[in-house]
Amino acid sequence: MHSSFPGFKSIPVRAIWPFSPHMFRVAIALLFVVTVPVIGWTVSKDFNGRMWLAKVPVLPSSAQGAYQQWIDDGNGVLKPGEAFNAVDQGINDVVTDQAQADMASPENQSQMQQQQTAAQQLAAKYGTPEGQAQLRAMTPAQLMALAQQMQPQTNMPRTVSPDDQQLLQKIGDGVYSGKQQVMADVLKLQVQINTVDGQWDQALSALGPQEQAQMAQLAVCPGEAGIPSSLDTENLELKFADQRIAIAAEYLPQFAPIIGKARAAVLPEIDFGDDALAAWTQISDPALKQQVSPSAHGAEQQGLGDVGIIEKMVEDASSRAAQSVADKKKIQLKYANARGC
């Protein structure tokens, strides 16, 4: 899934009903190219969104602390360190393991075959220009009926037990009721992050002309080259590298309270997903459990997407501060054999 939130990490998420009429048309059109199986998922009782949110690294208050969260290749190129990778890899591994387990299920294989057949039939009927025109002319109700043809056929019980009814209420349609507010809050906080980033940019941009002016004033060594000594050049570059590190230390702490508010904003949606998935694991009726599986897992995946948003906010601020330290180290390596005139 790719969230509409800025900076969202790439975490696969299955589709969640209901769609808007426009999304029905898009979904049906996509089925002419790929088959999207609606299958049941296995789940680890130890896996939930809150756990992964707690594992997202805390943003350090210093550039040096931020540098410790990254792996420097020695040339000033940074890659995420173990803590960031653990969150990314952990979530992706669980999702992959769940999908592989579902693919191996005979019941799910049967459902996938049903959907493949339905997709082929829909493609034959609506894949032509005339068929596409029919789709555009359909009402939302007609599109809903058409999309439901992709659902695997199940023998639903005539009655649902009281216990399962209570569990279904926790799952709902798989979409947190306050999702629009979560989106609005996160977008508002992202604007604040962008503002701090802009101020950081302005502070750094003022250093460039100063460094160039002072570089032009360095004494040159006698001889044909007529350039400053490598030692003087190194000292000047390190001087401005330290200033960039100091600027990072000034702005980095300003992100922490914003990210803290973002954590609080997404937490209700994460909890909803955790509760929905926990409720799904307790449903006693197999057919009912199969039917609501996409909604329950979709809710959980929305929560994992929120975790990705928070992690990206931390990563972006941390990497920018860490880069100032990496750049200084690159200068030191470049002038390892620096000499005077």
Pull the structure tokens for residue 301: 């995946």
Whether 132 has a pLDDT exceeding 80, the answer reads: no
For 235-268, write each residue's pLDDT tens digit. 999 999 999 999 999 999 999 999 999 999 999 9
Q: Establish if 15 belongs to a structural domain.
A: no
* All residues at 6 or more sequence positions from 84 whose CB lies less than 8 Å from its CB, including other chains: 57, 69, 311, 315
CA dist 168 to 48, 52, 134, 165, 270, Å?
19, 25, 35, 5, 18
In a domain? residue 10:
no
β-bridge partners, 72: 78
DSSP 3-state helix, strand, coil percentages of the chain (rounded to 5)? 70, 0, 30
User: Residue 294 is encoded by which pair of tokens?
Assistant: 């996409």
Q: Are 324 and 244 in contact (CB under 8 A)?
A: yes
Per-residue pLDDT at 183: 95
Model confidence pTM above 0.85: no
> Mean pLDDT over residues 86-106, rounded?
71
pLDDT in tens, 64-81: 999 999 999 988 899 999
CA 139 vs CA 21, 26, 135, 146, 312: distances in Å: 8, 14, 9, 11, 40
Residue 154 placed within a domain: yes
Distance separating alpha carbons of residues 14 and 23, to the nearest angstrom: 14
Number of structural domains in the chain: 1
Report how far apart, in Å, the C-alpha atoms of 291 and of each of 19, 31, 92, 274, 338 are.
17, 20, 24, 18, 70
**Is residue 45 predicted with pLDDT exceeding 50?**
no
Query: Considering Cα of 300, then 301, then 302, then 304, what sign does the dihedral take?
Result: positive
H/E stretch holding 72 reads strand 70-72
pLDDT mean over 191-199: 97
DSSP letter, residue 60: P
Confidence of residue 336 (pLDDT cuts 50, 70, 90): very high
Q: Which domain holds residue 191?
A: 21-334
152 versus 67: the higher-pLDDT residue is 67
The CA dihedral of 60, 66, 69, 71, to the nearest 10 degrees, is 180
Partnered with residue 80 across adjacent β-strands are 70
> Could you tell me what percent of the chain has a pLDDT over 90?
58
What is the sign, positive or negative, of the torsion defined by CA atoms of 148, 149, 151, 152? positive
**Domain contains 5:** no
- Listed residue (42, 48, 15) closest to 306, CA to CA: 48
Residue 175 has a CB neighbour count (10 Å cut-off) of: 18
Ramachandran class of 5: left when φ > 0, alpha when ψ lies in -120 to 50, beta otherwise: beta
Helix (H, G, I), strand (E, B) or coil at 227: coil
| Per-residue pLDDT, 153 | 53
Mind listing the pLDDT tens digit for each residue in 270-315?
999 999 999 999 999 999 998 998 899 889 989 999 999 999 999 9
pLDDT confidence tier of residue 121, bands split at 50, 70 and 90: confident
Considering only 25-34, 154-163, 224-233, 264-273, which range has the smallest mean pLDDT?
25-34
Backbone angles phi, psi at 197, to 5 degrees: -60, -40
Let me know: does 39 contact 105? Beta carbons within 8 Å.
yes
pLDDT at residue 144, rounded to an integer: 65
- Write down the pLDDT at residue 40: 38
Q: Do the domain assignments include residue 222?
A: yes
Q: Residue 131 pLDDT more than 60?
A: yes
pLDDT digits (tens, 9 = 90+) for 221-238: 987 678 899 999 999 999
Contact residues for 177 (Cβ-Cβ < 8 A; gap 6+)? 272
Nearest to 279 by CA among 296, 260, 302, 257: 296
- Name the residue with tokens 């190219």: 33
Task: Please tell me the predicted confidence (pLDDT) of residue 44.
Answer: 42
pLDDT given for residue 325 in this prediction: 97
